[in-house]
Amino acid sequence: MKGPDVKRKSGAAPGLFKNTGFDAGHREKEKRVLRIDEAAKPLPGLFDFGAEHAAAAPGENNLLKLSLLMIGIVAVFPLMKVGFVTNDDLQLSLKARQTGVLGYMGHIYWVLKLGGRANFANLLWHYLPYVFKNFIYYKIVALGSIVSTVILLAYFMGRLFGSEDIFYFSLLAGFVGLQNSWECTPLVSFPGIFSFPLICLLLSFIFFLEFTRGRKGLLIPAAGCYLLALFSYEVYILYCPVFFLISWFGAGQKPALARLKPALPFIFAGLFYLSVYALFRHHFGSHYAGVQAQSRLNIASAMKTLWQFSVSSLPSYFIWDRKYRWLFEVLYNENAYSGLRGFTFLRLESAWAVKSLLVAVVCFLILRRTGPFHAGKLRFSILLGVIYFFLPTALFAITEHYQDTVKHGTIGIQGSYFSFLAFIYCFVPAVVLIKQKMKRKALKYAFVMSTALLMAGLSILIDNSNGYIAKYQKMSDMKWQAVDRFLQSEEFRSVPDGSVIYAPSLWTIIGSVGIHDSYWSEYFSTFSGKSIKVVNHLDRNPGTDLFYLKYNQLLKDEEQYLVFARLEDAGPEDGGGHLFASQATVYNLSKYVRYYILGRLRRPGETVIEAYGLPGLKANGLFQIKVSENFYRQHDLKSTSIIAGSGNQIDLDSLFVLPGSSEEIRFAANGGG
């Protein structure tokens, strides 16, 4: 393929800095002035990155776009079924349903006052993901906004360098490097509050960059977006110098004051935010340790926190972390239940293999034709990327709160995502610069191939960690799916208003989400319209109707069921806490439609067991009910009502569902088990 033209026409789309000579004889001798082309030249279109692809093979760019789309879809697909993974998200989503938009914003304002944080734009960002109680809408907002940050960063870099290849390569690095975790990560937690302000910041960079190129109408939108970002999160004040840099280098050979003048609106925005923040903090104080600097800074602890929160953003970090490897082994490797056994949990699914192949091909196609660029511009971008790789997490590192979280095992936070974006900003020009510095064609080819293979390998590793973690997070969300189905059942509709439901298993944690004591009472009451109290401690004399609900889920598979009954006897105080009822309902929520229901009766002796309204058989002590697929589908079986006759009772905690197979439904009498 013919290489890109070295000499560009005067009307070609400029980068942030003017490139003025890339032939071998003049590259080292050129005067390295970093500037933007004068506004008098024709302005390129917003999607006209540059002219370096004039000699590209027909359809090659379309192939790149299609491949990048497929890579992005495979990268985010495991996250599409992940629900809430933090207690904060649970509370906020419930609060949105309970209070409506004004009440919800009032609650967020109260939280801001409690922390002494003048982040007023969060009144909007917090609410957007919860406008509707619809999982599809929630995931569109959550994933759409985070993917938008990757696209916008890639677009900014492409416009900055005047190169469509830089845009493609940045986008590829972003999609490959997106990694989920059990830490607080914007991929699955705090949607809106984190990603929307980041979108505003990136838009402000893009708008201001275009303003320096002659689009005068974009200064106000740029300043407005930055102001929104500022009043969303304290970290964004650290990005104010970026506007200085764009303004300084964009003004060419003008005097210093003239170079800085375009950035003044952003300086005023930063000063205004700091003034409002200081007044708000002075008036309300702060009761949140996460925004309070350590009174006597422990430099060693702060540096450790800074390093940990920054490096955890590096692609594939979690696959190498000892804690995470142990979790992967224990949770998903059937032959490993303790300790580390290398990387035996690694696997290769077909979608991941295809994605890895596409990553290698796309990386090779991009890098073989990329460049040349001004070496000074590449070096400066690398330096800026390194600075901002660490700078945002510095605000967290100086607080005792975040230092303590690192001591207790936290290895990443939401703010680590800033470091990830900075890594992309550093990594892309570094790769281009290394390739550009190689003189021999064979070395360049070997480097391009090695980089393509490295990216493909990272893709496989990150897909493994993302797949494992997302599966576990999805299993956590199945509890809410099961409860929602139960709230629509006939059995729940018959529960009187004001009843108490004893359901300690609903507080059992699978994944990283914690649940506060009053949550399930609020959830049942909000979504059922009844006043229902759900408790995790048994009151043997509640003074009202008392019911029992048990949720059970396997640790390594998507198998779950519910048991529901009106409690008749909780047994003696010292009797081990057994719960009894003459009738119980079992909800099989398994992916299997052939299964067993096993249980134990309170007293031995012949007892007639009935299920599905069919005549039963006599059982003695233990009983087993087998359900075939035909019977399940014939009766549209969603729940199984089990009745113990002869005055006997069912031990509710003994009931469990076991996936199996049978040609018919039958009972095993005489303690058949």
Q: Which pLDDT score is estimated for 147?
A: 95
CA distance 337 to 597: 28
Task: Give the number of other Cβ atoms within 10 Å of residue 630's Cβ.
Answer: 14
Q: Which pLDDT score is estimated for 151?
A: 97
Q: Which of 433, 424, 430 is nearest to 371 (CA)?
A: 433
Residue 560: both structure tokens together = 């779950």
The answer, yes or no, to whether residue 503 has pLDDT greater than 70, is: yes
The answer, yes or no, to whether residue 398 has pLDDT greater than 90, is: yes
Q: What are all long-range contacts of 67-73, with beta carbons under 8 Å and residues at least 24 apart?
A: 67/358, 67/361, 67/362, 68/168, 68/171, 68/172, 68/175, 68/362, 70/354, 70/355, 70/358, 71/172, 71/175, 71/176, 71/355, 71/358, 71/359, 71/362, 71/459, 72/147, 72/171, 72/175
Write down how long the chain is.
673
DSSP class of residue 517 equals T
**Residue 539 pLDDT class (50, 70, 90 cuts):** confident
Paired with 586 in beta bridges are: 563, 640
The answer, yes or no, to whether residue 172 has pLDDT greater than 90, is: yes
Please say whether the beta carbons of 293 and 250 come within 8 A.
no
What average pLDDT score do residues 390-403 get? 95
pLDDT digits (tens, 9 = 90+) for 327-341: 887 776 644 444 445
Q: Which pLDDT score is estimated for 132?
A: 87
DSSP class of residue 77 equals G
DSSP class of residue 289 equals G
Tokens 């602890």 identify what position?
301
CA distance 222 to 78: 34
Measure CA of the first residue to CA of the last residue in the chain; give whole Å.
Answer: 72
What's the angle, vertex CA 617, arms to CA 615 and CA 619, rounded to 5?
145
Q: Which of 378, 390, 402, 404 is nearest to 312 (CA)?
A: 390
pLDDT digits (tens, 9 = 90+) for 34-61: 444 433 344 455 555 655 544 456 678 8
CA distance 532 to 495: 9
Share of the chain above pLDDT 90, in %: 48
Q: Which pLDDT score is estimated for 165?
A: 93
What average pLDDT score do residues 542-556 get? 83
Three-class DSSP category at 84:
coil
Q: Which pLDDT score is estimated for 50?
A: 55
What average pLDDT score do residues 581-585 get? 88
The residue ranking higher by pLDDT, 325 or 105, is 105
**What is the pTM for the complete model shown?**
0.84
Residue 1: both structure tokens together = 């393929």
Three-class DSSP category at 136:
helix
DSSP class of residue 9 equals P
The answer, yes or no, to whether residue 208 has pLDDT greater than 60, is: yes
What average pLDDT score do residues 218-236 get? 96
Mean pLDDT check: name the lowest of 11-15, 89-93, 499-503, 635-639: 11-15
Please say whether the beta carbons of 368 and 447 come within 8 A.
no
CA distance 491 to 564: 8
Kindly give, in sequence order, each residue whose CB lies less than 8 Å from that of residue 120, ignoring residues fewer than 6 positions away.
109, 112, 231
Paired with 566 in beta bridges are: 547
pLDDT digits (tens, 9 = 90+) for 459-485: 999 998 898 888 888 888 888 888 998
**Residue 604 pLDDT class (50, 70, 90 cuts):** confident
CA distance 326 to 342: 9
Greatest mean pLDDT among 149-153, 184-188, 592-596: 149-153
What is the rounded average pLDDT for all residues in the chain? 83
